[in-house]
A = this chain, B = another copy of it.
């Protein structure tokens, strides 16, 4: 059990300076950025001698209290202040949380982007959406390549994840060797047959690693993450039994899962169609690049999905997280333009809910059952496995790399704590393990390391076209409005006498159902008029209205709408 080895590993602000000097040519900075609730998830900056190397630039989805926010990106201000110092942008794999922030970065920072072939393809899809593809310097790399980006030398090694073509990085700096795990697992039987490069990990470890930065997502999960192949076996059983259509929902970018469905569908004489724009885009790009064995003319049209005999049809679609506007959710409600759930369909919800999405996923499963489908989902079948390493894999990674310093990244604080404890268990000295928040600065010399200040917040909110303009004030107002709505009271007063010449007019939304609240509003109007009987300076008028109505409405309804008086002098 966990506490068997417990020994608090809380954030260490203390430094371990050893014998090292502080000359800048002996100083490597590492700054994890991004992550909503998670730390160092979406972006990483390495800095040596004022030269920056950026690893990944992803986006995150807002937490439930970030009302109205569309996406969240890392706070890149530290980079934006040094746009000419960026040597390169390295992308480890093609998931949104590692590439989705690129459009916001490359609009202000001109630097070459390096990625493996599929990753590059998906980066291109993303940049094209923003009409930013032209003028960007994109390079394709392969596992085994070594890039000289002086003062950094970057070696790419293959890692398994839930998307093909992912890599980890060995980065040689003048201060020492840094290893970045990428998002990884040690899948012994991956869908594409390409293993994590154990030999390279061992070789890097043999050279002597100064710092390991490693994915902490599943640092709470015991044992070994099951192979993607397990999902294939479960899907095979579902295909073997189903009489009607089979619909598999997964992430748009989960090329491996799409490939599994295509392969198994062929085995059972079914053809595959895709529903969901983003997934179609990703699949086409992956097929063009040879990462998905599915010819575009092989894909079913929506008409065919509906008209072919059900036992000849398999459909892959988005919506596995119950996202309200996704294909699966609309199909379950019978509200999709092209394809809807019919009694007899078998639906596989092939993902595990991201924390916060459980209610949406469960609601979707309920609606699928209501629509007459048979449903396979996380609670009842292993229709998804994580793309991230579990505890035994983490220990293996740590033992292969044997780093001098260890920094758990890519996880919530609790995950970092558990990852740190494992590092200690396998022999990394406690004082050489750093748990940091996003935006904190790690500094390393050849034989020392420390946390030294903070240069950025964790993240920046994107709402519509606005990047970072929505902050606490606007969010607080949205929160208040979402609870009890608002009341605007407009009154025109004579500029000279202060007498009410028109109004008060009361406009309200989100507070009471207006059609049934006529009496309440009328009574409120009287209260306002009464309170204003004796006129007074404009400022007093506003306060009087506000106080009168706040009390009146709370007494009558128990609610506290936002009250905004508008006094016009005419």
Contact A512 B413 (CB under 8 A): no
Task: Using A10-B372, A412-B366 as known contacts, say yes or no to A510 and B237 having CB atoms under 8 A apart.
Answer: no
A558 — which chain B residues lie within 8 A by C-beta? 463-466
Residue A478 interfacial (CB < 8 Å): yes
Does A1 sit at the interface, judged by CB under 8 A? yes
User: Distance (Å) between the CB of A535 and the closest chain B CB?
Assistant: 17
Residue contact B6 to A68, C-beta cutoff 8 Å: no
Q: Are A417 and B369 in contact (CB under 8 A)?
A: yes
Cα of A376 to Cα of B237 in the assembled complex, Å: 38
Given that A37-B362, A380-B220 are contacting pairs, would A481 and B486 also be in contact in the complex, using a CB cutoff of 8 Å?
yes
Set B367, B372, B483: member contacting A67, Cβ < 8 A: B483
Given A10-B343, A566-B507, are A359 and B355 also a contact pair (CB < 8 Å)?
yes
Shortest beta-carbon distance, A3 to chain B, in Å? 6
* Chain B positions within 8 Å of A414 at CB level: 362, 365-366, 369, 375, 377, 379
A229 to nearest B CB, angstroms?
17
Asked if A503 and B376 sit within 8 Å, CB to CB, the answer is no
Determine if A471 is an interface residue (Cβ-Cβ < 8 Å): yes
Q: Which residues on B sit within 8 Å (CB–CB) of A477?
A: 485, 509-510
Interface size on A, residues (CB 8 A): 88
* Bound Cα distance A505, B488 (Å): 12
Main secondary structure of the interface of A (DSSP, over half): mixed
Known: A478-B485, A510-B477, A510-B481. A466 touches B379 (CB 8 A): no
State the CA gap A464–B1 with chains docked (Å).
45
Which B residues are in CB contact (< 8 Å) with A507? 488, 564, 566
Bound complex: CA A513 to CA B484 (Å): 20
Could you say how many copies of this chain the assembly holds? Answer: 2
The one of B10, B64, B490, B568 that contacts A359, using a Cβ cutoff of 8 Å: B64
Contacts of A562 in B (CB 8 A): 509
B369 and A502: CB pair below 8 A? no
Are the CB atoms of A568 and B502 closer together than 8 Å?
Answer: yes
Interface hits, A549-570 → B, CB 8 Å: 556-559, 562, 564, 566, 568-570
Q: Which of A365-400 contact B (CB under 8 A)?
A: 365-367, 369-370, 372, 374-377, 379-381
A369-B414, A477-B510 given; A237·B3 CB < 8 A:
yes
How many Å from the CB of A386 to the closest CB on chain B?
A: 13
The residues of B that contact A220 with a CB separation of less than 8 Å are 379-380
A145 interface residue (CB < 8 Å to B):
no
Given A469-B516, A485-B481, A488-B488, the answer on whether A6 and B374 have CB atoms closer than 8 Å is yes
CA distance A10 to B371 in the complex (A): 8
18 interchain pairs, CB-CB under 8 A: A8-B372, A10-B343, A64-B64, A68-B482, A68-B484, A68-B559, A362-B412, A464-B557, A466-B512, A466-B559, A478-B485, A479-B482, A481-B482, A481-B509, A492-B502, A492-B570, A507-B566, A568-B568
Known: A366-B414, A464-B559. 20 other contacts (CB 8 A): A2-B376, A6-B374, A8-B374, A68-B485, A362-B414, A369-B413, A377-B414, A466-B512, A469-B513, A469-B517, A474-B510, A477-B485, A477-B509, A478-B482, A478-B483, A478-B485, A479-B482, A481-B485, A488-B566, A507-B566
